[in-house]
Each structure stands twice: as C-alpha cells, then as structure tokens.
Amino acid sequence: MTSANSVANPKISSLFQPLQVGAVQLRNRLVMAPLTRGRAGKERIPNELMQEYYTQRASAGLIISEATQISEEGAGWSQSPGIHTEEQVKGWQKITQAVHKQGGLIYLQLWHTGRASHPYFQPNGQIPVSASAIKAEGDAYTEEGKKPYVTPRALELSEIPRVIQDYVNATKRAQAAGFDGVEIHAANGYLIDQFIRDGSNKRTDAYGGSIENRLRFLMEITEAVVKTWSSDRVGVRLSPMNPFNDMHDSNPIATFTQASEALNQFNLAYLHILEALPGHMLAAEGERVGPHMRKAFNGIFIVNGGYDAVKGAAAIDNNQADLVAYGVPFIANPDLPQRYRTDASLNEADPSTFYTHEPKGYTDYPAL
C-alpha cells in the first residue's frame, strides 16, 4: 500500500510535484489534454453528462477543456460545445463549479475551425473561412455523417478585427463561466494554424509570406486575449508537425521556433505543444521541433503526444517539459493520477465511442 503522498514507482515522482502555472498552483504535473468528444447536444450547450465527465477527472493538475467554438462561424464538429451564448456560459458555470468543488482547475480551449468546417455548420450555409482559399483533404463530422471539406474563402483584411473580437468575447464569457484561464487553440489545422503554416497560407498581404507575417494573426489574437483577462490566465497550443487536417509547413523548425520566441513578450501562463513521440500514430518523420521550442520559450512548457507515466516523468526530469498532457489515458481512466501514483493497471480506451453522443465510452469508465 502507498500512502496518499508516496509514489509506488520513485522514477515518476516528478509527476506529483506541485507547480505554479500563471495565476494558479497545480497539485501535480499531469494535465488533461483538450479532447474533442461531441456530447454537448445539437444546441451545443454544456450539460449534466459533461459535468459528470469533467468532475470525474478533476484530480488532474489542470484540465484543459475540449475545444470550444468562439462563434457560430467557428463551429466545425458535431455536438461540440460553444462559448458564444448566455446559455452556454450557464452550462459551463455548473461544470467549473463542480470541478472546483473537487479541488480541480480548468482552462477553456478557444476554437475556430476555419476551413476544417463545412457549410452544414455555418450560419446560412455559408462557405467556411481560412487564411487562403485552399481546400483541405478530409471530412467534417456532421449529424448526417462525414462530409468532404469544401474550398474555403480567404478572410478579408477588413474581417480580421471581427474574428479577433470573437476571441475577446469568448474570453470574457470564459471568465464569467468561472474558468481558471483560457487556452488559445492554434494547433491541429484549425484557423490560427491555417495562418501559421505555409501549406495553407498563400496570402500576399501583411498576414502571409514571411514567418513574421504568418504569425501576425496568432500574435494579435494573443495580445487581445491577454489584455482582456491577464497574461497569467492565458496559454497557447501549437502543433509544429501534426499533419491532421491536411497541414504541412516547409520549415517547421524555423516557423515554430520563431513563434515560441515571439510569444515570450506576453508572459503567458504556458506554451503547450502537441508533438507525438516516435512510434505514436501522430509521430512525424524528421528532426523534432519541440526541443527548439523549449529552448526558445521562457515560460512553462507542456508536452503532449504518446507519453506514459515513465516517459512523462523523464521529460520533466530531463528539462524537456514542466508539465505533461495526457489525452487517451484520461479518456479511459478518470482517476489517472491515482493509477499512476499507485502503479495500478489502466483501463483500455474504446476509440469507437470517442465521438459518439452517449454516456457509453464517456462517463462509464471505472475508477479504481
């Protein structure tokens, strides 16, 4: 038997050290990664089922919520939640209160899907927006099944302030909903990432061409969100090598090292990167970008992608990260920190239920 504070495997003890992250103190270094699930119903209002799911996982050092659309235009996934109506704020309030009651901490991830949407989701069936009018290979998940992505239209220069304002409004609503902070979703082939990477950004104005120009949209959004709340309540997520949503960049090391350096000016709560370890299904070939980003960024650094307890602790011990985000392990193991602490066996996740709309595969995984 291990006592509440001891760890069965001393090799992973660094996962259980507390850490000050921006304005909040984390009780352990295990972060619940943002996980798109699709349980918010057609109205996209956070509900009791979601409250149960997040409360079950409140022992994470920090929960980063599933990606949450900042506007109707930002939607691109069946039954994902929003943060652009008062009803959605009220739904989230119940969730943050329940998580806090368990001693947990929770950030809201701010999401605009950009071209990774479909007219099916858009107001009046309009064409989705992006950095450039370049269609992504792949499909949108709709109520009527998968629908192939369409060619988006490039955001006009005159529209960019409106989109930035949507991030500001969502940040204010996240504050009102009782979150501990927000994470700007600039990863995985969604709108901000579409501006950052040159495979999807062929603009010739101030938001395209050079790395500095391609980062401009991210920088302006981050500046606006930080001003709206506070730098110690804001994180950013990037995915330098993730090909998801048909994404690529001609020089990811240069692009994302410069992004990490540029973000230093905001004194953020953290920088969170998805770069899967070798052998993981999302792993990319070639030199890893994360170590360059770690060196360039002055603040708290979160890694994500294929880590277990031992690999996660090693990343902290070797100064490759300060925190480790776990995705699939948290889906299947609501009490993941306790299981790691006591060296207990893990539940196996069922991928066939990841994006369904029922409690099965969501709130029915057993705790120890």
pLDDT of residue 260: 98
CA distance linking residue 332 with residue 207, whole number of Å: 41
Bridge partners (DSSP) listed for residue 58: none
Q: What pLDDT was estimated at residue 141?
A: 87
Q: What is the DSSP letter of 130?
A: E
Tell me the pLDDT of the chain (368 aa) as tens digits: 344 468 999 999 999 999 999 999 999 999 999 999 999 999 999 999 999 999 999 999 999 999 999 999 999 999 999 999 999 999 999 999 999 999 999 999 999 999 999 999 999 999 999 999 999 999 998 989 899 999 999 999 999 999 999 999 999 999 999 999 999 999 999 999 999 999 999 999 999 999 999 999 999 999 999 999 999 999 999 999 999 999 999 999 999 999 999 999 999 999 999 999 998 888 888 899 999 999 999 999 999 999 999 999 999 999 999 999 999 999 999 999 999 999 999 999 999 999 999 999 999 999 99
Number of other residues whose CB lies within 10 A of the CB of residue 343: 12
Catalytic residue among 141, 167, 190, 307: 190
281-296 burial: b if 16+ Cβ within 10 Å, else e: ebebeeebbbebbbeb
In terms of Cα–Cα distance, which of 205, 208, 271 is closest to 240?
271
CATH 3.20.20.70 fits 10-353, yes or no: yes
Query: What was the pLDDT predicted at 2?
Result: 41
Give residue 245's pLDDT. Answer: 94
The reply to whether 362 belongs to the active site is: no
The H or E element containing residue 260 is: helix 252-263
Would you give the end-to-end CA distance of the chain in angstroms?
14
User: Are 209 and 297 within 8 A, CB to CB?
Assistant: no
Taking CA atoms, 110 is separated from 12, 82, 117, 172, 334, in Å, by 31, 9, 15, 11, 23
Sorted by where each begins, the domain ranges of the chain are 10-353
